Amino acid sequence: MLARLSAPTLRAALRAALCAALSLAGGAAGAEDIAPPVNAAATDEDTVSQASTAPAPPAGIESAAPERVLTLDLTRDANDIWDRIRRGFGMPDLDSERVIDQQAFFLNRPGFLKQVFARGGRYLYYIVDELERRGMPTEIALLPMIESSYDPMAYSSAHASGLWQFIPSTGKHYNLAQDNWVDERRDVIASTQAALDYLQRIYDMHGDWHLALASYNWGEGAVQRALRRNAEEGLAQEYSHLRMPEQTRNYIPKLQAIKNIVAEPELFHFELPYVANELHFVTVDAPVGVDLATAARLSNMPLDEFLALNPGFNRPAITLPGQTFVVPTDRAERLEEGLAELVRSGKGWRMHVLGAGERLDAVAARHGLSLAQLRKLNGLTPASKPGPGHALLVPDGIEPEGALEVSRLLPFSAAVARQPGLKLGTAEARNSRPRLESAGSSARNATPKSGRKAHQRPAAGD
């Protein structure tokens, strides 16, 4: 396929290529040289993300390229996810010096860029599928790169969490459960649904994707005030004419820079990692009492890979009926068979509710644990003093080593414990989650009788 490039696109490409060439001469930075950009989505109109940001990118390099059209051979594999994303681009392009600067910033760090694109590969098919179903621009599938570097465990100083970096209040507004047992802001499926709902709503509010993205980063109230201020001063009601914080001013140029690289990687001498355009994961019913390490072993998956698909759990074992595991499509049958055998064995994990006067060390000894292990499994700090009615996760005929390893990797103490208003280990958690006899689950988590479902939602109106 041949593509004809406009003069602005050509100028941007030439400038970025020149920056990359200069970088190669001085030594390009690797992944370790950059802090992943993380931003918090906010609804509070006075909220400005306090998330970590990358260092200021190098200034763009001016080029005296003549106004002309360049013809390139852009033959690609039409079966990869990148081609599908390109075909769904629907936002107006932004052509500015800030975009050029951001392109140079990313291209000067090719190791980081490839690492993050590869990490996002496991999630892209699902996100793109949802965008197409909703009729939304596929550039949005690239937004988690700016928000979290496609890391569902990302956590910011503004208490934003997950791929889409929801702060607690916005997550609650979009029905993302956040308690001692789960944090659906990290759940890839739940958070993607919430993020797309939110983005669609603020797009409908403004009728402009640039303003919608600015609202996602800065807060919709802040953008509305900036628009009113421009209207009162007789200025244009467009993103590029608004007064806004520097972080928001660079937010859309960052996305545009990534879009440009994905659109024309050959032009920037960059090779995108191959990501097949095919369903990557399905869900499998998770029986109560199985721990995540055992599920990973039964799936024949490394624990870190399993947790990357199941990052929403705050505890190392399943405590509620109706929950599911997310696994690659080719591992689902193996996991189903292993879980069925585990259920037949009667071994697993259960909840122990503290009685009046019952001590933690006594409970630990009764279940073959040290006090430190019991605290670790339940996200309790040495200062925590749980009382009667507090539900504790304990082993029942199963070795605790795997669950302890999961506890070490889970972000419970690092993230959830710092959330304002969250109490550790209380039996009053949302929806009475510690109660194993609690029946039912949300429609969003409902699974067919086969115990497995592909993550491909029905079309609107079905």
Please tell me the predicted confidence (pLDDT) of residue 45. 38
Please tell me the predicted confidence (pLDDT) of residue 79. 79
Can 147 be counted among the known catalytic residues? yes
pLDDT (average), residues 110-114: 96
Confidence of residue 459 (pLDDT cuts 50, 70, 90): very low
| C-alpha to C-alpha distances, 258 to 79, 191, 282, 327, 409, nearest whole angstrom | 20, 22, 28, 28, 30
The predicted-structure confidence for 288-302, as pLDDT tens digits, reads as follows 999 999 999 999 999
| DSSP 8-state code for residue 457 | P
Long-range contacts from 324-327, C-beta under 8 angstroms, 24+ separation: 324/283, 324/284, 324/285, 324/286, 324/445, 324/447, 325/283, 325/284, 325/286, 325/295, 325/299, 326/188, 326/189, 326/281, 326/282, 326/283, 326/455, 327/281, 327/282, 327/283, 327/284, 327/299, 327/301
Q: φ and ψ at 395, to 5 degrees?
A: -80, 150
pTM of the complete model: 0.76
Check whether domain 2-268 has CATH 1.10.530.10, yes or no: yes
Choice among 147, 184, 220, 264 that is catalytic: 147
Cβ burial of 31 (10 Å; 0-12, 13-18, 19+) is: middle
pLDDT (average), residues 296-312: 96
Please tell me the predicted confidence (pLDDT) of residue 411. 67
The predicted-structure confidence for 382-407, as pLDDT tens digits, reads as follows 999 999 999 999 999 999 999 999 99
Mention every residue, 6+ apart, whose C-beta is less than 8 A from residue 340. none
Q: Is the pLDDT of residue 93 over 70?
A: yes
The predicted-structure confidence for 164-205, as pLDDT tens digits, reads as follows 999 999 999 999 999 888 999 999 999 999 999 999 999 999
| Cα–Cα nearest to 332, from 443, 448, 411 | 448
Domain residue ranges in the chain: 2-268, 282-437
| Pair of tokens at residue 84 | 């599908």
